[in-house]
Amino acid sequence: MPLAVRILLTLLPKNEKTLAVLIAILILPVVFIFFLVSSITTMTHVPAIKPEQIEMYKEASVAVFAEFGIMVPFKELIAIDAVRYKQDFREASTYRAIQLARRFIKKVEKRDKDGNVIVYYYKKPLETVVQEMIESGELVEGDLERIQRYLQFPWDNPTENPEVPGLPDGYIPVPGANGLVFPVVGQWRLSDVFRDRYNPVTGKWESHKGIDLAAPEGTPVVAAKKGRVVLASPNGSAGNEVKIDHGDGTKTRYLHLHSIAVSEGQEVEAGQIIGAVGSTGQSTGSHLHFEIHIHGKAVNPSPYLFK
């Protein structure tokens, strides 16, 4: 036996169980990272809900109240579907919203002293319904926290949101994980993440300081947060760029825009249209490259938008 192998064998635990645990500790993170990467690269969303889609959930809530005398808050229904449908509310219907609302109803039968069956209905807590949906495979672990974040949005009165000039008719911006408005309104696909990557254009390894959201040319791009436009012009390989200073140590950058709808010095609201998705500058296809900078340092935008 070669010496190196013999030395390695002496280092390995003698106990089989300890060895199995050691191998699991080494392999599990690799498997986990593989699934994480494969799931984020295939994700697609429509990160906006139309007021008429909100109405479907209100109707469902009223229908179930008429049936059982129990009011299921329509906000809880929307929050579940925002996670279940990955914000693509085209999958939603009044029928499906009613089916969902009925799952909140717990039926209890009791007998009175004369032996007659009396039926009571209760509303299950959101946590219980979500747990049941996790068990049936419709939701996954961790979705409860995501659902609770959506509950913070003023769904019942979206007009309480700041005025949003220029959004497509009937759309309201939907906040991401930390109150940031999702920067693309419409259908998109995550085409690259924040990481070191091989640049096919320059042939070099370089760090990719933002995320790429592939979307058709002309798709509206909105400000992720209220702030002041500090750059709104062509900027070399970045193409047409808008940069917004949010005044709290954070800045956001929007690159490769087809067109720019704001000018330098302008104050913008969260969700206000600032341009349209394009492929200007160093780009291989129509997409928005989106960056978040905190105190001058680019950070991974994904936790701010997806969690």
Could you tell me the smallest distance in angstroms from the CB atom of residue 208 to Zn ion?
A: 6
Q: What are phi and psi of 100, to 5 degrees?
A: -65, -45
* Spatial separation of the C-alpha atoms in residues 135 and 94, rounded to whole Å: 24
State the residue for tokens 């924040």.
194
Which residue number, 100 or 301, has a Cβ lying nearer to Zn ion? 301
Could you tell me the smallest distance in angstroms from the CB atom of residue 121 to Zn ion?
A: 52
Could you tell me the smallest distance in angstroms from the CB atom of residue 267 to Zn ion?
A: 27
Query: How buried is 302 (Cβ within 10 angstroms: 0-12 exposed, 13-18 middle, 19+ buried)?
Result: middle
Residue type, 135: E
Task: Tell which one of 82, 89, 176, 212 touches Zn ion (CB under 5 A).
Answer: 212
Report which residue's Cβ sits closest to Zn ion: 289
CA-nearest of 163, 155, 175 to 224 is: 175
Residue 15 is classified by DSSP as S
Which residue number, 75 or 289, has a Cβ lying nearer to Zn ion? 289
Could you tell me the smallest distance in angstroms from the CB atom of residue 284 to Zn ion?
A: 10
In the window 111-140, what residues touch Zn ion (CB under 5 A)? none
In the window 267-296, what residues touch Zn ion (CB under 5 A)? 289
In the window 138-177, what residues touch Zn ion (CB under 5 A)? none
**Among 21-29, 80-88, 193-201, 204-212, which window interacts with Zn ion (CB under 5 A)?**
204-212
With both helix axes pointing from N to C terminus, report the angle between 94-102 and 74-84 in degrees, rounded to the nearest 10: 110
User: What is the contact surface with Zn ion in residues (CB under 5 A)?
Assistant: 212, 289
